[in-house]
Amino acid sequence: MEYTDQIYGEIDIVDPFCIDNNQIKRFSDINTNWKELLIKELEPKEYFLKFGE
């Protein structure tokens, strides 16, 4: 299938500060699942578009 256009996009994801053992830390430093998700989802995404004729 031929595509008529190709675009790239990025997603903004929040990594809030939290209190853990009376210390302020990023949520991703506390929760490794969230950190892995951030790394994966922050990569630029590539989309292909096909317009009708």
The total number of structural domains that make up the chain: 1
**Full domain range(s) for residue 36:** 5-49
Model confidence pLDDT, tens digit, residues 1-53:
688 888 998 888 899 999 999 999 999 999 999 999 998 888 888 999 988 76
3-state helix, strand, coil in the chain (%, to 5): 25, 35, 40
Helices (H), 1-53: 27-30, 32-41
pLDDT at 36: 94
Cα separation of 26 and 20, whole Å? 9
Indicate yes or no: pTM above 0.85: no
Backbone angles phi, psi at 38, to 5 degrees: -60, -50
Q: In the structure encoding, which two tokens stand for residue 48, read together?
A: 């292909």
